[in-house]
Structure 1
Amino acid sequence: MTNFGYTLMTEQSGPRELVRYAAAAEEVGFDFEVMSDHYSPWLTEQGHAPYAWSTLGAVAQATSRVGLMSFVTCPTMRYHPAVVAQKAATMQLLAEGRFTLGLGSGENLNEHVVGHRWPALRERQDMLREAVEIMQRLFSGDLVDHHGEHFQVDSARLWDLPEEPVEIGLAISGERSIANLAPLADHLIGVAPDADLIRRWNATHGAPQVGGSARAVGQIPICWDPDEDAAVERAHEQFRWFAGGWAVNADLPTPAGFAGATSFIRPEDVAANIPCGPDLDHIVAKASAFWEAGYTDVALVQIGDESQDRFLAEAAGPLLEKLREAAA
């Protein structure tokens, strides 16, 4: 069975709107909800970047059924891992066991704001591994002292711990990240519908098995609108950064950089990668690549704050029916 989620995009909506959309998405029937954790939008046209953790706490009180997930938080630069562990434990208490901590190695766009240098990918992955190990020790409730290569923790303890353990999903890209991180994770987060990624994860010693206890969570942008031309225009205005791919996007530092890097991306280029318009079957066909690759969970990103109310009221219910029918 494939679970379908709704993405709470902090880059395109304010905090009060995100809480309202979260409640509506639960009401319409989504299985889970994920929230991005950015300090800045990718493009100025998106126009928002509220603090994800405050908003997640409010979402936990506005919903009662859906799973919740950070998607994803970088626990190595803008946040110290001991602080992320405290955030996650508190979220699990507020959500009464519905929260999953999604983590990744970060994007320069969000992490450069604290004034540190931007490390190369290998170092960022090593930092992420050490951060996860620290958080797992803190989740045990023990007093933690840690003097590592990247982090120091001095007599830290989490005083409010949930009965339901905080499970961790890790964003994975290549062989090295799988080998280093999969044995530490509870769940896989992927950026593309790659069956080989899941196969390599399951072949890694100590990794929880996708199809067993582990989820494989993917995400796909869509731009539903009754007017296809309006959908393409909106997707191009607000989501043309998506064409760069993760390897490029992780290193760009500012919205101005994203604007420059995507200045030659055409509306038709965006429409070729993102399903735009009223055709729900086209959206289902694009999303099917994830469950065919073995993903257990697929989160939809509906592009554009101005489109959310109508999408949730008119399209989300019928789309979920079609997605579930096709995935079954």
Structure 2
Amino acid sequence: MPEYGYFLSTEEFGPADLVEQARMAEQAGFQALWISDHYHPWNAAQGQSPFVWSVIGALTEAVSLPVQTAVTCPTVRMHPAVVAQAAATCAVMTGGRFRLGVGTGEALNEHVVGGPWPPVHRRLEMLEEAIQIIRNLFTGEEVNHHGTHYTVENARLYTVPDEPVPIDISGFGPKATALAARVGDGFITMTPDETLVSHYRKGGGGGKPVSGGLKVCHGLDREEAVRRAREVWGNQLLPGELTQLLPTPRHFEQTAPLVTDAMAASSFTCGDDAEEHVGALTAFADAGFDRVYVSQIGPDQRGFFDFYRTKVLPQVQGAAPASPGEGAPR
């Protein structure tokens, strides 16, 4: 049976809201947290972008749940040596309950420091080298590295966890999936694609964890929930490599006419039908995922957490349904 977690969206919520959502997630019965790592939101309708490492520090004081970035790009905006220090500190603060999720990133977040945005094959090379540097630094030994893309001189992390931080790699196509299988401690992908999971397992992933995430929009008015999902997260439905290449939120806003309510209705689970939400989660379980993280779109977070606590999580976790007043988020 998979573990079910909550996906905190730094693109859509500020720091205080994210911490409060984490508290409600723990009270509702979610078992872990994902948190996105963005410099920009995808569009103005989302409207936030707090620094993820500061928020994680607050989360460690607010809840006892494991935390993972989903995902950090450790190659352009931040040097891998700096990401290693941030991840090691988070692991110490969580008592070893932190995993580092990494990926090749998007121009939206990474090009802000200037310079060209590399093609995908170069970004995969950079990611593999970055992971090597980060793992070497997790040992607590001095690291000197003169590689193709990065230089590290006389670097040593003095604050490190007892065990190295696991590094899970995000992938949506065969090349990134192959890299995750070869060098990752786990695999992250965002659709319940059984074929992709199989390629990961056969390529070297073996028994390592596979994690997935989805966004839903719970609400009593399904049409309104669909509209909100399209307006706020329509960027997820853009074709091809647009999400990796467009450089600013303004450019994503210009693509809004490409996404219709019908597309959103068929792609996001919207409304208050518990069986539809259960089905969306179990699709990941059926595809072989070990961990599934769900994120609520929009401001009705308390309604979402109460709905999942009483109607959804008991079904997917195999527990008796909670009564409406029992353990309600406060």
Return the TM-score normalized by structure 2: 0.93
C-alpha offsets along residues 90-110 of structure 1, whole Å, 9 cap, x if unaligned?
000111111000000001110
Deviation at 1:192, TM superposition (A): 1.7
Does residue 45 (structure 1) correspond to residue 45 (structure 2)? The answer is: yes
Deviation at 1:246, TM superposition (A): 6.7
Q: Is the 8 A contact 1:43 1:258 kept in 2?
A: yes
Paired residue for 1:186?
185
Q: Does the residue aligned with 2:280 lie in a helix, a strand or coil?
A: helix
Cα deviation, residue 321, structure 1: 1.1
Decide whether the 8 Å contact of 1:7 with 1:34 is kept in 2. yes
Q: Return closer, same or farther for 1:22/1:147 CA change in 2, 3 Å cut-off.
A: same
Task: Tell me if 1:198 matches 2:191.
Answer: no
Following TM superposition, by how much is the alpha carbon of 1:115 offset from its aligned partner in structure 2, in angstroms? Answer: 1.0
Aligned to 1:310: 303
Q: Which one-letter code corresponds to 1:271 in the other structure? A: A
Which residue identity lines up with residue 79 of structure 2 in the other structure?
H
- TM-fit CA distance, 1:245: 4.9
CA distance in structure 1 between the partners assigned to 2:136 and 2:16 by the alignment: 34
Displacement of 1:146 after TM fit? Answer: 0.5
- SS of residue in 2 equivalent to 1:250: helix
CA distance in 2, matches of 1:106, 1:130: 15
Residue aligning to 1:248? 242
Q: Against the structure 1 CA distance between its residues 177 and 266, is the aligned structure 2 distance closer, same or farther, given a 3 Å change threshold?
A: closer
Q: For the Cα contact (< 8 Å) 2:170–2:177, is it kept in 1? A: no
Task: Give, in angstroms, the shift of residue 148 of structure 1.
Answer: 0.6
Aligned to 1:54: 54
Aligned pair in 2 of structure 1 residues 270, 119: CA closer, same or farther (>3 Å)? same
Q: Match of 1:224, as an amino acid?
A: H
- 1:207-226 matched pairs, under 5 angstroms: 207-209=204-206, 212=207, 214-226=208-220
User: 2:166 is aligned with what amino acid?
Assistant: E
C-alpha displacement of 1:227? 1.6
Counterpart residue type for residue 320 of structure 1: L
Equivalent residue number for residue 7 of structure 2: 7
d(CA) in 2 for partners of 1:252 and 1:316?
38
Aligned length, in residue pairs: 319
Residue 288 of structure 1: CA displacement? 2.2
Per the alignment, residue 33 of structure 1 pairs with: 33
Mapped to 1, the partners of 2:179 and 2:258 lie a distance apart of 37
User: In structure 1, how many angstroms separate the alpha carbons of the residues matched to 2:226 and 2:179?
Assistant: 39
**In the superposition, relative to structure 1, how do residues 230 and 315 fare at CA in structure 2: closer, same or farther (>3 Å)?**
farther
Tell me the CA shift for residue 286 of structure 1: 2.3
**TM-fit CA distance, 1:269:** 1.6
Deviation at 1:177, TM superposition (A): 2.3
CA RMSD of aligned residues (A): 1.5
The 1:245/1:54 distance shift into structure 2, 3 A limit, reads farther
Deviation at 1:254, TM superposition (A): 1.1
CA distance in 2, matches of 1:193, 1:289: 6
* CA separation of 1:147 and 1:294: change in aligned 2, threshold 3 A: same
- Cα distance between partner residues in 2 of 1:314 and 1:81: 40
TM-score normalised by L of structure 1 = 0.93
Distance 1:123 1:317, change over 3 A: farther
Q: Which residue number corresponds to residue 72 of structure 1?
A: 71
Counterpart position of 2:82: 83
Do the aligned residues in 1 keep the contact of 2:145 with 2:152 (CA within 8 Å)?
yes
> Is 2:312 the partner of 1:319?
yes
Deviations 1:119-141 (A, max 9, x none): 10000000000000001111111
Q: 1:303 to 1:23 in 2, by over 3 A?
A: same
How far 1:239 moved relative to its partner? Answer: 1.1
Per-residue Cα deviation, 1:23-64 (whole angstroms, up to 9, x for no partner): 110111101110000011111011111111100111011111
Alignment gaps of 5+ in structure 2 = 320-330
Q: Is the 8 A contact 2:238 2:259 kept in 1?
A: no
Rounded Cα–Cα distance in structure 2 between residues aligned with 1:318 and 1:273: 21
Q: Which residue of 2 aligns with 1:286?
A: 280
1:233 is displaced (CA, Å) by 1.9
Q: Which residue of 1 aligns with 2:115?
A: 116
Are the structure 2 counterparts of residues 245 and 56 from structure 1 closer, same or farther at C-alpha, using a change threshold of 3 Å?
farther
